[in-house]
Structure 1
Amino acid sequence: MKAIVISEPGAPEVLQLREVEDPQVKDDEVLIKVHATALNRADTFQRLGFHHPPPGSSPYLGLECSGTIESVGKGVSRWKIGDQACALLSGGGYAEKVAVPAGQILPIPAGISLKDAAAFPEVACTVWSTVFMMGRLSAGESLLIHGGSSGIGTFAIQMAKHQGVRVFVTAGNEEKLAACKELGADVCINYKTEDFVTKVKAETDGKGVDVILDCIGASYLQRNLDSLNFDGRLCIISLMGGDNAEIKLSSLLPKRLTVLGARLRPRTTESKAIIVAEVEKNVWPAIEAGKVKPVIYKYLPLSQAAEAHSLIESSSHIGKILLVT
């Protein structure tokens, strides 16, 4: 098969399309002929030599895909050859074929094309497991999403609104903020011209929000804590703003704050299967009802993975970037 290979850690140009060996399928896995895969920031970190795949996982990039099942392991009962599906991956989406544990596969949601379904598994599993399962976000509460126009952000806005949550977002320009507003965000904050702590406090009568979904990390840590309501939960999923920070512990104690760190890729196969099942139960009905829609910025052929990486690193996109085989 063909796959995108990292010739050496570095700039997007190190991504090259090459002939490689087909994946070996275990008894509890299926082989998917990939139709599309979606970019995630973690892909760029792996290209740079960080965020390595878990032991035993595919060495190739790609944390989600959609496609057609080509073969099934002898321990698999739900799926059969010819089924169309999408999947949460530990790696391997930037290829023509990928082997996936059966518990990480999802049906294509009704009303969604096979191609666009590739935009959902990673974001849906990340947001549902972090914000709703760990962060216990519930109807009537409020959520602040940093990077509201990203793939994670555009999904989280829609899912939170569907759950009856008041949504705050930050983004870096008016076009991105307008897109967030159109998706349902209630309060849109330009982080380049406004202080999000001040805006959050002004919009909540000084209380703060109940949950924050944060991809920035160190540079936002204290301000995030200052933006939380009593019993607030800070969910950190990425460290684009650094990984070392000092905080005032006095900001944690009186308000009974919780800081949660979460990363989906290193979880066990069993843990991922639980999350995928919860996503199918809770998220897929919202997609099929049209309450959550894929937000696709651009489709590119797999051979143009380097261009796609340059695009995501420019942060000029809104929503997801897909690679089509």
Structure 2
Amino acid sequence: MEIAGIISACGAEVKQWQIGQSVCALLVGGGYAEYAIADARHCLPLPDNYSFVEAASLPETVFTVWHNVFERGQLQAGETLLVHGGTSGIGITAIQLAKAMGARVFATAGSPEKCEACEALGAEKAINYKTEDFAEVLAQVGVDVVLDMIGGEYTPKNLKILNLDGRLVFINAMLGAQSNFNISEVMRRRLTITGSTLRPRDAVFKANLTAAVLEQVWPLLAQRRFQPLIYRVFPLAQAAQAHALLESSTHIGKLVLEVS
């Protein structure tokens, strides 16, 4: 969970923040409220010229992408990234950050409109998974890192298109956590299969990740080389409607709840 707002109180040991400062933060929960408690180490300054709505959409997706694509996946400039779910909050962030870091980016999405959105964000090509097989389209391209939230039958296809020393990074398994693949191919081509979840990680890990994001990503925000894409803002009282839209998967970009 992620929030943005003005600090109204600080603990006695907090030295880096002051009452009245504008911040956004990663939370473990409790963000659907007028006031929320955040660990001071998990807060980031509101980027210059960004609204609270824009900033509120940043922490969870940025933290997830930075850790999984750049720390676990070790994506480098000049390499190729495939992002599944390109118009999700994670996908939008991954496409833009990878592009800003000098990587080639491909994505999958479920409609022509969503594919166009991915390409507008910086993807070299977006593949409509309802009409095309991404593994066939990318067979001759070769991919260094795959960011996957699908799992299931996608797994052997992801492994098939990876280059030597390629990395497959899981952040979800929407089509199922079980899959069959050829272990010999993993060994022969020196592939790495990894993944992570952010919520259960301890406070020190999240503090270190916050520091990395501040150093590596916040300058890109200041330069507008990466920016959030907000689909719709709901008042807090309409949280149920926001969740219904979220579950419909018809939107492109982030949904934000706003407190009056």
TM-score tier after normalising by the smaller chain length: over 0.9
Pick one of 129, 132, 137 that aligns with 1:194: 132
Matches of 2:100 and 2:167 in 1, distance apart?
Answer: 20
Pick one of 249, 253, 261 that aligns with 2:195: 261
2:157 corresponds to: 223
**Shift of residue 247, structure 1, vs aligned partner:** 1.8
Q: What fraction of aligned residue pairs are identical, expressed as a percent?
A: 49
Structure 1 consecutive aligned stretches of length 4 or more whose deviation exceeds 4 Å: none
**Mapped pair 1:117 → 2:55:** yes
Pick one of 113, 117, 125 that aligns with 1:175: 113
SS at structure 2 position matched to 1:210? strand
Pick one of 89, 94, 113 that aligns with 1:156: 94
- Structure 2: unaligned runs, 5 residues or longer: none
**Shift of residue 218, structure 1, vs aligned partner:** 2.1
**Shift of residue 309, structure 1, vs aligned partner:** 0.8
**Shift of residue 184, structure 1, vs aligned partner:** 0.8
**Shift of residue 95, structure 1, vs aligned partner:** 1.4
**Shift of residue 220, structure 1, vs aligned partner:** 1.2
Check the 8 A contact 2:57/2:254 in 1, yes or no: yes
1:33 corresponds to: none
Check the 8 A contact 2:41/2:207 in 1, yes or no: yes
**Shift of residue 78, structure 1, vs aligned partner:** 0.5
- Structure 1: unaligned runs, 5 residues or longer: 1-62
Matches of 1:229 and 1:168 in 2, distance apart?
Answer: 14
**Shift of residue 156, structure 1, vs aligned partner:** 0.8
1:288 corresponds to: 222
Structure 2: which amino acid aligns with 1:273? A
1:236 corresponds to: 170
- Relative to its length, the structure with more strand (as a share) is 1
- 1:38-80 per-residue CA deviation (whole Å, 9 max, x = no partner) reads xxxxxxxxxxxxxxxxxxxxxxxxx100011111011100011
SS at structure 1 position matched to 2:97? helix
- 1:84-140 per-residue CA deviation (whole Å, 9 max, x = no partner) reads 100011111111111111110000011211221001000110000111011110100
**Shift of residue 224, structure 1, vs aligned partner:** 0.9
Check the 8 A contact 2:72/2:195 in 1, yes or no: no
- 1:241-260 per-residue CA deviation (whole Å, 9 max, x = no partner) reads 11122222122111100011
Matches of 1:92 and 1:218 in 2, distance apart?
Answer: 32
Pick one of 268, 272, 275 that aligns with 2:209: 275
- 1:14-61 per-residue CA deviation (whole Å, 9 max, x = no partner) reads xxxxxxxxxxxxxxxxxxxxxxxxxxxxxxxxxxxxxxxxxxxxxxxx
Structure 1: which amino acid aligns with 2:114? K
1:1-325 residue pairs with structure 2 within 5 A? 63-202=1-140, 204=141, 208-325=142-259
Structure 2: which amino acid aligns with 1:259? I
> Number of matched residues?
259
Matches of 1:321 and 1:230 in 2, distance apart?
Answer: 38
Matches of 2:113 and 2:53 in 1, distance apart?
Answer: 26
**Shift of residue 222, structure 1, vs aligned partner:** 1.0
Q: TM-score, normalised by structure 2?
A: 0.98
Root mean square deviation of aligned Cα? 0.8
